[in-house]
Structure 1
Amino acid sequence: MTSIPAPFSTFDLTGRTAVITGGSRGLGRETTLAFARAGADVLISSRRVESCEALAREVRETTGRRAVVHAAHAGKWDEIDGLAAAAYAAFDRVDVLVNNAGMSPFYETPSTVTEELWRKVVDVNLTGPFRLSALIGERMVADGGGSIINVSSAAANAPHGGVIPYAAAKAGLNAMTQAYARAFGPTVRVNAVLPGAFLTDISKAWDMEEFERHAAGFALRRGGEAHEIVGTMLYLASDASSYTTGALLAVDGGYVLPGDAG
């Protein structure tokens, strides 16, 4: 008979290592701190090395875990290659990869979207995760297992006219998640989280009165707080999700299209 572990022990990440892109702010920051508190050593990556270093110091001081920083643009192929190399220079193996970096610039109308903007959005949200997952995922297979978590968006399934490039890239990320789950199975699990509207530093640019009207149509009638992503991320990173792969998990408070709010 297979023994059943204690419930909370399945979320333990002691002795494991995690790489988090876009790991210095917002949902990435909360994920980084949660993984370290659960026992993991972490590599924090973003273009903003100063904010990564500040978070790394906080991790070391508050959890005692090892925290490594590597500056990289999540949408540039060669910098992604450098990030993967840095991860394996820092750690013998990578147990968890979180493709969290993303961007969704504002634009006036679809015809004002430039080729440069389109390519930036697709590269950060789709090309970078493809390349990093390929490099680290294949090493995970060789090393006997791991977990890849792609941070997608509720907009992939319920897009509107203000996020067309972003929604298209995230829909591609969803498809890629399920394809990689089959490519890297059975030892490496690949899943995606689909956050809705979270109140992070990005939301400071929102028209909050308009947002509150939209949020009235959500099932929970509010935006999410960054710490509310933590349970899902720990679940997917840990043995608690040992039979979960290729999943697209919504963490969106019952999100609906902005125009659908009552």
Structure 2
Amino acid sequence: MNDAPTPDPLFDVAGKVVLITGGSRGLGRAMSLGFADRGASVVVSSRKYDACHALAEEINARGGESFPRACHVGDWRQLDGLIDDVIERYGRLDVLINNAGMSPIAPSLLETSEALVDKIIDINFKGPLRLTALAATTMAATGGGSIINISSLASRRPTPVTTAYSAAKAGLNALTQASAQEYAAVNVRVNAIICGTFDTDTTAGFVRNPDILTSVVEPIALHRIGRPDEVVGAAFYLASAASSYTTGSFITIDGGVAP
């Protein structure tokens, strides 16, 4: 794959079937490309088929294996079909990365509408909950697997402008630990990556704004915003044999935000 070096057997993901929600852009795109370049079969999923298809074509053109599958993870009714289609194509699912999410900023708690709360909960918590159950059940039938939840520093350091989002991601953290306990007996590990601020389309409004960038990076020890590809190594670890004794755990990638 693109003349990539032979991976360390401990971190080898070649041959694994990896489903990444929100996989067509941002952190999801970086992980989709990273896993595909190292020999995994990657199912790129997001709400927009065209975006999934474009990335899958890019992956296939560079010698990888990818399958585009549109799915709105906030719609419970679509999730069974997503897992079914992965199994129909590949016969198994080894890694699920619950990456899809949304983080709108509300002007105040009073002005946060019920519709917005429902949308935030559906995408950041309810969808991952259902997909975790479906994927773990499927993985159990083929010897086990790994589920990786992409959480946020906001889950541990909530602010008034991200109240609902922070609460949803805190729920995702609780889901991580509880489902790790439930599925350990069938060799399905569940872990989470707690992400700080990364330069993605979602965060472009402030990370690419020179007027506020200084205040954004000030509490970060490395004094910069993260690149999307800098989450990939942690995902490899959690998806591979290197993390065989790791479940119910959290890896924080935030550049060293001051406590």
If the TM-score is normalised by the length of the shorter chain, which range does it land in? Answer: over 0.9
Alignment partner, residue 223 of structure 1: 225
Alignment partner, residue 69 of structure 1: 68
* TM-score normalised by L of structure 1: 0.92
Q: Do structure 1's residue 96 and structure 2's residue 98 form an aligned pair?
A: no
Provide Cα deviations, 1:228-256, integer angstroms capped at 9, x if missing partner: 11110111111111111100110111225
Provide the C-alpha distance between the structure 2 equivalents of 1:226 and 1:159, rounded to a whole number of angstroms: 22
Q: What amino acid maps onto 1:8 in structure 2?
A: D
Provide Cα deviations, 1:126-156, integer angstroms capped at 9, x if missing partner: 0000001101111111211100000010110
Provide the C-alpha distance between the structure 2 equivalents of 1:126 and 1:229, rounded to a whole number of angstroms: 20
Provide the C-alpha distance between the structure 2 equivalents of 1:256 and 1:124, rounded to a whole number of angstroms: 29
Q: Do structure 1's residue 192 and structure 2's residue 192 form an aligned pair?
A: yes
Unaligned runs of 5+ residues in structure 1 are 1-5, 258-262
Alignment partner, residue 8 of structure 2: 8
Provide Cα deviations, 1:31-58, integer angstroms capped at 9, x if missing partner: 0111111110011100111111111011
For residue 88 of structure 1, report the CA deviation from its aligned partner: 1.2
Q: Is the 8 A contact 1:11 1:38 kept in 2?
A: no
Unaligned runs of 5+ residues in structure 2 are 1-5
Q: Is the 8 A contact 1:154 1:255 kept in 2?
A: no
Provide the C-alpha distance between the structure 1 equivalents of 2:60 and 2:216, rounded to a whole number of angstroms: 39
Provide the C-alpha distance between the structure 2 equivalents of 1:255 and 1:102, rounded to a whole number of angstroms: 22
For residue 7 of structure 1, report the CA deviation from its aligned partner: 8.1
Q: How does 1:20-99 map to 2 (within 5 A)?
A: 20-62=20-62, 64-99=63-98
Provide the C-alpha distance between the structure 2 equivalents of 1:240 and 1:138, rounded to a whole number of angstroms: 23
For residue 78 of structure 1, report the CA deviation from its aligned partner: 0.5
Provide the C-alpha distance between the structure 1 equivalents of 2:196 and 2:134, rounded to a whole number of angstroms: 29
State the aligned residue count.
251
Q: Is the 8 A contact 2:7 2:38 kept in 1?
A: no
Alignment partner, residue 149 of structure 2: 150
Structure 1 23/7 Cα, relative in aligned 2: closer, same or farther at 3 Å?
closer
Q: Is the 8 A contact 2:52 2:68 kept in 1?
A: yes
For residue 196 of structure 1, report the CA deviation from its aligned partner: 0.2
CA RMSD of aligned residues (A): 1.5
For residue 184 of structure 1, report the CA deviation from its aligned partner: 0.7
Range with bigger deviation, 64-73 or 117-126: 64-73
Provide the C-alpha distance between the structure 1 equivalents of 2:113 and 2:17, rounded to a whole number of angstroms: 39
Provide the C-alpha distance between the structure 1 equivalents of 2:42 and 2:7, rounded to a whole number of angstroms: 24
* TM-score normalised by L of structure 2: 0.93
Structure 1 242/7 Cα, relative in aligned 2: closer, same or farther at 3 Å?
farther
The ranges of structure 1 where at least 4 consecutive aligned residues each deviate by more than 2 angstroms after the TM superposition are none
Q: What amino acid maps onto 2:168 in structure 1?
A: A
Alignment partner, residue 237 of structure 1: 239
